[in-house]
Amino acid sequence: MPATIIEPLQNESAPLFIGLQSYSEAQSDIFYGRDEEIDKLTNLVKANILTIVFGKSGTGKTSLLNAGIFPRLRKNYCLPFRIRLEFNDSSADLVTQIKNILKTEIDKYGFKVESYPGDETLWEYFHKEPLWKSVTPILIFDQFEEIFTLAKKSNRFGNQQQAAFWEELADLIENSIPEKLKDKFLNDKEQIDYSYKNQKIKILFSFREEYLPEFESITSKIPSIKYSRFRLMPMNGNQAYEVITKTWKDKIDANEANKIVGFFANENNKNKSYDVMEIEPSLLSQVCAYIDRQRITEGRDKISADFLNKYPKETILRSIYDEVLAEANAAVPDNHLNNAKLLLKPVNEFVEDKLITDEGYRTKYDLNEIAERLKPGIDVLQKKYFVRDDGKSIELTHDVLTPIIKTDREKRRKEIAVAAARKKANRRALIIIILSILAAALIWYLITRKAISDRNDAIEQKQQLDVKIKNASDSLRWIGDSIKKRQFHLNELKQNKNGTYTIGDSTYSNLLLQSHDDSANLALLQKQFNDLNNQKFLFQNNIALQNAQIDSLINNKKKVDIINNDLKRNIENLKRIISFDSDRLVLLQKNYDDLRKEYNDYRIKHPELYSPENRPAEDEQSDTNSLKLNLYYSSSHKTKAPPNLEIYCIPVTDANKKIIRKAKVYEIGCDQLQLNKATGKKIAKFVNGIYTFYNVAPGKYFIKICAYYGGYYTYTKTSSGNV
């Protein structure tokens, strides 16, 4: 076979552990701890046409294939083709992708072939190409669960294309003559110049174990799926010890290596045998890489486990992630808010929105779609092995990051939703205030307009009354003058009658009668004049009152303007307070999370404080009516759950209905602020390896387990006593 292409190993100044990066085939000489798995899986592949490899995320399936299986297979005249299918809108169809990888790898290793895969089926190509008579081709599909996740989300890869893909693989695995070729082969209508009965191709599927049921559903098409299976488990303590000591060699002694292995044991299982320990390789590599960087930074030649005492193991990966993302965000130019010290997180948002799906699975993102401003931050992630690119797209290096990213995304989106709701409420309050001001202004306008109209009517009536009074006054003056003249003549007549002059009696009588009538008219006019004066006085008072009302309204308008200005200032102050409170809320939430972690760490370090002799008196008295839980990660392995979980027992009542409904929505961890509001809720205490709720009366309860892989359960206690 042609010589294997060797890639350069990492330089001497770099950490000896590669962190989240998967081991490559060129790093097979530093890939330790998996010899037994390599032997078993290699034998399965050699003995079977199809082998499936499955395991939890973070167990190192890709590293096992690259650095463990590939070199062994090459020594046995096998040519492994690592295939990672793509599901972008611009990607070729699935079968064409396989053919393109075959051509690229054949050229890479310098094999001479008569032909490359073309329009014929894969079954035809692997039966007729002479190369496969001496070399066994092995198609290794890595991350194959994406056929059930990413493909379903793409309109490009619908049921029709997937059906064609599975048909090609089924023919290849089961060595079934493709339907369109059966007439030619079985009836010998054409001369067949190669053997179609012998099968040399081998295939391996590698995927996360939660997708095993999906593969069970296609056994009717590919029966071989049921036979050759390999489950990759996490490392045990012995394997972890081997990885640590063989990687660091003379840089670590046995005592320090044992301390690091013990770091991965549960707090209540410190004395557990290394054989039954379970350690995720991804976490082991990441923690050791972190320690190695500390060693290099401090200029030490030897590894010390003292560093692990600084942090609980649950926070190490989070610390590493936050540290790398902070550096990536700082690399983005002009990444500050209003020239303040508050650093934005555009790289976090990019990772959360573009590199994982809504369900929390890794996905690829087209390199050409990345904004120029973000590229310096993405470069930082690549240098830290958090992301990788294949020249066309970018993706996370490992699934172990996805829970952290999904948690951050949910938190960010919740904060955005709260801020939007607060903004909406503020906008609604502002609209209400503005409408109230407009309504008050409209009412003031209408009242003022009515008052001014009434005043104008009163002034017009007063003017008309002034004319009447003037006319009456003129009439009174004229009548008065006439009466005076008549009185003068009457006096003269009286003198003439008694004196020198004489006049007829009739003339004198007429004058007396006229004088009497004039006096009566004068009295009537005087009464009318007095009435008009009284009306004038009333109108003047009315006008004065209306003027006073208008002045009052004008003063009220000034007061309303002052109040409006005060309201505007108050609104601006409220906006500033809300903005300050929002930032403070984020800080308080972080402080709350830190305090909670410290509390859990304290519980782990001081289990004696939670032993039966230290329980409160009310717990002792109610111990005859308790509810006890035995929790395991899985029923098959009986691996005990850790002692630092928070588990809630909430009565199923109408008062708690809303809280229970929200708690049933799956998320990593719990919304403890909501759960603590539940009426009658209880929190379990970890006593003698068992979670216990004290003083639980008979009834129906909702039990919520706050953990990454926790869940919820409904339990009905039918009688008093311990259960």
Give the pLDDT of residue 632: 76
Name the more confident of 505 and 319: 319
Give the pLDDT of residue 97: 93
If you compute the radius of gyration of the chain from its CA atoms, what whole number of angstroms results? 48
Give the pLDDT of residue 101: 94
Give the pLDDT of residue 6: 35
Q: For 385-410, what is the mean pLDDT? A: 79
Is pLDDT of 579 > 80?
no
Name the more confident of 90 and 619: 90
Give the pLDDT of residue 340: 43
Kindly report, residue by residue over 235-245, the tens digit of the pLDDT: 999 999 999 99
Kindly report, residue by residue over 687-721, the tens digit of the pLDDT: 877 889 988 889 999 999 887 656 788 899 888 77
Q: Give the span between the Cα atoms of 10 and 105, in whole angstroms.
A: 24
Q: For 112-125, what is the mean pLDDT? A: 90
Q: Give the span between the Cα atoms of 3 and 8, in whole angstroms.
A: 15
Is pLDDT of 668 > 80?
no
Strands (E), 542-602: none
Is pLDDT of 508 > 60?
no
The one-letter amino acid code at 672 reads: Q
To the nearest whole percent, how much of the chain has pLDDT over 90? 18
Name the more confident of 494 and 384: 384
Exposed e or buried b for every residue in 47-78, given b needs 16+ CB within 10 A? ebbbbbbbbbbbbbbbbbbbbbbbbbbbeeeb
Average pLDDT across the chain, whole number: 78
**Long-range CB contacts for residues 485-493, cutoff 8 Å, separation at least 24:** 486/511, 486/514, 486/515, 486/518, 487/515, 490/515
Give the pLDDT of residue 245: 93
Name the more confident of 157 and 471: 157
Residue 179: pLDDT band by 50, 70, 90 thresholds?
A: confident
Q: Kind of pairing, strands 78-83 and 136-141?
A: parallel
Is pLDDT of 572 > 80?
no
Is pLDDT of 7 > 60?
no
Is pLDDT of 32 > 60?
yes
Nearest to 395 by CA among 62, 64, 96: 62
Give the pLDDT of residue 44: 94
Q: For 557-575, what is the mean pLDDT? A: 74
Q: Give the span between the Cα atoms of 647 and 669, in whole angstroms.
A: 11
Q: For 536-562, what is the mean pLDDT? A: 71
**Long-range CB contacts for residues 713-716, cutoff 8 Å, separation at least 24:** 714/652, 715/627
Specify whether the CB–CB gap between 126 and 49 falls below 8 A. no
Give the pLDDT of residue 53: 95
Kindly report, residue by residue over 191-242, the tens digit of the pLDDT: 666 677 778 899 999 998 888 888 888 888 899 888 899 999 989 999 999 9
Give the pLDDT of residue 600: 63
Q: For 320-327, what is the mean pLDDT? A: 85
Residue 339: pLDDT band by 50, 70, 90 thresholds?
A: very low
pTM recorded for the entire structure: 0.53
According to DSSP, the residues that pair with 230 across neighbouring strands are 53
Name the more confident of 289 and 46: 46
Report residue 121: phi and psi, to 5°. Answer: -70, 160
Nearest to 659 by CA among 672, 680, 678, 681: 678
Residue 611: pLDDT band by 50, 70, 90 thresholds?
A: very low
Is pLDDT of 11 > 60?
no
Is pLDDT of 301 > 70?
yes
Q: For 78-90, what is the mean pLDDT? A: 89
Give the pLDDT of residue 103: 93
